[in-house]
A and B are shown apart, each in its own frame.
Chain A
Amino acid sequence: MNIFFKKRVAWFLTVLISCCCTTLNGQEGVVEYRFKAVYLLNFLQFTSWPDSAFRDKDYSPIIVGIMGNDPFGKILDETMLPEKIDNHPIVIKRLSSTKEIEKCHMLFVSRSEQKRLSQILQSVGDKPILTVSDIPDFAESGGIIQLYVQDNKLKFSINLNSLNSSGVQISSKLLRLATLVGGNY
């Protein structure tokens, strides 16, 4: 009898809970990577690639590759997909092998790839690919842009040697805001 009564209460609550509702909308991700996603978008906006990097130099998409475990989830898609960089739409690819790197314009190397970093950078070689990562010492190791947190703020450093050999051009604005590593300008 007692249990029967409690069941009724359970159902009553169930119905009550499902009836007290009104408006709409989605959900949010984690702040650190939301910032990083917006930084990546900014980097795209301040970067230019040689024409040879695109099949159609005006309309081909800019391909952003993510190497390793994707720390962004939906965040990066939400940040980038609605945007265009001078007519170029943005396409995000989650890469599963280093062979796919060469198709990318920007390569984000996830922290999960720390151990394979040199192998990945070797695959990038001198190709016009803007490499970005939040792996510690990424710029020192030969990557182009490294994101890091200092005093609770998200900063970035740029390796000028890597940048020069890649053939990618970065606006002086970015260079101004970055901590520079290697080379001299």
Chain B
Amino acid sequence: MKRFICKYKIFCMFLLLGSLIRAQEDRFFPSTEELKKWSLEQLMETDITIVSKNPSPWFKSAASVQVISSEEIRRSGARSIPEILQLTTKFNVAQFNEIRWAVSSRGFNDLAANKLQVLIDGRSIFNEWFAGVSWEALDILLDDIERIEIISGPGGSLWGTNAVNGIINIITKDASQTAREPLYVEAESNFDQFISGAIRYSNRLGTDAAFRIYTKYSHYDITPAAVADTLSLLWNQFQTGLRMDVNLSESDLLNIQGDIYEFKSNKIAGAQVKYQGGNIFAKWNHKISDRSNFSLKSFFDYTQQRGLLGEDLTRGDVEFQHETYLDPSNHFSWGLGFRIASDRSANLPEIGFLPANAKNSQYNAFIQDEISLTNEFKVTLGSKFIKDDYSKFDFQPRVQLAYSLSETDFIWAAVTRSLRKVSRFDRDFFLPTQPPYIIAGGPDFVSEKAISYEAGFRSLLMHDYLFDASFFYNNYDDLRSVEIDLANLPGTVRNGLSGKSYGAEVSITGEINDWWRIKTAYAFLQKFIYNSGVDLYGGAVEGNDSKHRVIIQSLIDITKDIEFDLHFRYSSRLPNIGAEVPAYAALNARLGWQPNDFISLSISVQNVFPKRHIEFSSLVDGSGEEIERQVFGKLTFSL
């Protein structure tokens, strides 16, 4: 019987996947006030299953949001942030080689994809100077992560610049949370060239404070005897850091954290590369009253890169945010921010940045008002304002509407204007660094602009399945082009491209039963780039994107202590001429065993099939490497 119900549920799931808009039944949902009037006898006779087993506070967010929990991260077998992002179709993640990744949302994927924002506990790790994220140098103790919020599409007014097509918001655990397990140790290896280990100590300091301190080291060395040295790959990554959370009083919370790291590799664009750096971050939250609070946060970040092109980048940032309920139906927030960045570029004769030293100050502000017009209908209006040394004053407004059809059905729509800010890479890039130049910077380059129209629908199907769909249409203008006219050198970086894209993201997540959870997701993208000038790459630098992507994730608890997890992904071909990549489907598998409360063991196989495949190529960086099957063993110990 149970089996039959199971099959029936799956059948229904697919049936409903086909029809996006579901007929509404009238359901009775008493309010809390009404429930309080009921007797216990009455309450105990009421059917409550009209409800998800995984209550999600994001159910009613008017954006294309997905949240990856720490449990999903642990069970994915992932070793890096990009691998975790492969658990969603909201981002397109393609592996270029063992350490480099192309990560973007809603198209424009490239090793240096630039239309996104990445934050760790509110600290931006997007390099606004060079417009990209150094995924290879980004490390974090994955067990410290509480959740990752993934938003495809432009962020609201609360998010920073560059959040044109997506935001990755990594939130780490409070130190008092990790202090429950004072000691945590993990070790992982592929039984061959890769080894990684981490240790964390966490504890409480009195009743009102807690801290943690961690160190992580990874080493990878593959040097097949028969191949030339340039084909070998060797990297080392070391990172250590701490976090402290202090309750200064009933209404004041202080969070301080910092990391230092070093990453060395002999294989980024064929050169030996070394990143070193550190950051320190502090945030103070103050509750003014039950309806109002503010936060003040600041970070300082230093990165040194040595390799093909060297740079020393120092960034300092201060942000203030205040939010208050003007009345129960009106939630108002505003904020101010200041950021200063200073860079020293170690130029090569052939390529570099002029001037070699530069500074940029950026001022920004935002306001946002969230108005509940009725119990069901909410409107949010907001805008971010920005001014820096590279560009004139500009604004990024968003209007969003949210409507609850019922307790289990929700629709939303939004219109946003967003900017990809001018970076040093756009303005000061020279080839070579002595006259006569072939490319002489981009003195006239202005920010890239996008207007996005989005709509989405969320529903709890048969109480257990969260159905989520979002649709978008984006219009891009002033996209970056490199224009070289051989008869009229030097060429410059200009805004010669424009484009548009549309697509959809659909997912179903749910529990088939107590021991089996499943997630299926599909994303569709259609993108057009128009080259009005004479772009060197004919617009191909603006991403090499697949049209269709699918993921299926299955988490099974075989017994209370044994987990069996599968993760399937499919990507259709990458179309760019000269950088075509065939479609591929790949499967990862993981078997986990937790013999007691202290130890857990797991074996994961990356790419059960195919044995090897290529995921990404680009005109600038060439063909990606074959990603091979690997088996990893992992041991964790906690006390």
Contacts and interface: CB of A to CB of B under 8 A. Distances in A.
A31 B291 CA distance: 24
Interface in B206-259: 207, 210
Interface string B4-30: 000000000000000000000000010
Interface string B345-379: 00000000000000000000000000111110011
B45 A153 contact: yes
Nearest to B478: A3
B48 A154 contact: yes
A59 interface: no
Contacts of B50: 31
Contacts of B397: 14
A73 B58 CA distance: 12
A87 interface: no
Given A21-B379, A26-B328, A78-B32, A35 B48 contact: yes
A152 B204 CA distance: 41
Nearest to A69: B177
Interface in A5-38: 6-7, 10, 13-14, 17-18, 21-35, 37-38
Interface stretch (A47-55, A93-101, A125-133, A160-168): A93-101
Contacts of A154: 43-44, 46, 48
Contacts of B43: 35, 38-39, 42, 154
Task: Identify the interface centre among B35, B60, B207, B413: most chain A CB within 10 Å of its CB.
Answer: B35
Task: Identify the interface centre among A10, A75, A116: most chain B CB within 10 Å of its CB.
Answer: A10
Task: Identify the interface centre among A17, A71, A116, A177: most chain B CB within 10 Å of its CB.
Answer: A17
A25 B372 contact: yes
Contact of A115 (B35, B38, B52, B597): B597
A31 B48 contact: yes
A26 B55 contact: no
Contacts of B373: 21-24
A29 to B, nearest CB: 8
B407 A10 contact: no
Interface string A62-82: 000000000101010011000
Given A25-B374, A26-B372, A153 B32 contact: no
- What's the interface size class on B, roughly? 35 or more
Given A6-B475, A14-B399, A32-B51, A99 B207 contact: yes
B55 A35 contact: no
Interface string A137-155: 0000000000001001111
A5 to B, nearest CB: 11
Nearest to B174: A96
A34 B407 CA distance: 12
A41 interface: yes
Contacts of A83: 36
B48 A32 contact: yes
B451 interface: yes
B379 A35 contact: no
Contacts of A22: 373-374
B558 to A, nearest CB: 18
B451 A79 contact: no
Interface residues of A, number: 48
A26 B210 CA distance: 35
Given A18-B381, A24-B329, A27-B375, A153 B40 contact: no
B49 A152 contact: yes
Contact of A17 (B47, B59, B415, B475): B415
A13 B415 contact: yes
B436 interface: no
A79 B43 CA distance: 15
Interface string B480-507: 0000000000000000001000000000
B13 to A, nearest CB: 20
Interface in A101-138: 115-116
Contacts of B399: 14, 17-18
Nearest to B35: A38
B180 interface: yes
Contacts of B66: none
B35 A35 contact: yes
A27 B475 contact: no
Contact of A31 (B404, B407, B415): B407
B449 to A, nearest CB: 9
B451 A155 contact: no
Given A14-B397, A154-B48, A27 B60 contact: yes
Contacts of B453: 10, 13
B48 A39 contact: no
Given A3-B475, A116-B180, A154-B43, A41 B36 contact: yes
Interface string B375-387: 1001101000000
Nearest to A97: B204
Given A14-B399, A18-B381, A154-B43, A30 B475 contact: no
Nearest to A30: B55
18 contacts: A10-B475, A14-B399, A17-B379, A18-B379, A21-B373, A23-B373, A27-B60, A32-B51, A34-B32, A34-B35, A35-B43, A71-B55, A79-B32, A97-B176, A152-B49, A153-B44, A154-B43, A154-B44
Given A10-B451, A154-B43, 10 more contacts: A3-B498, A7-B451, A13-B415, A14-B399, A21-B379, A28-B375, A28-B407, A34-B35, A153-B47, A154-B48
What are the 4 tightest A-B residue pairs by CB atom distance, in nearest-first order?
A30-B55, A152-B49, A32-B51, A24-B329
Interface of B: 29, 31-32, 35-36, 38, 40-41, 43-52, 55-57, 59-60, 174, 176-177, 179-180, 204, 207, 210, 327-329, 371-375, 378-379, 381, 397, 399, 401, 404, 407, 413, 415, 417, 451, 453, 475, 477, 498, 597
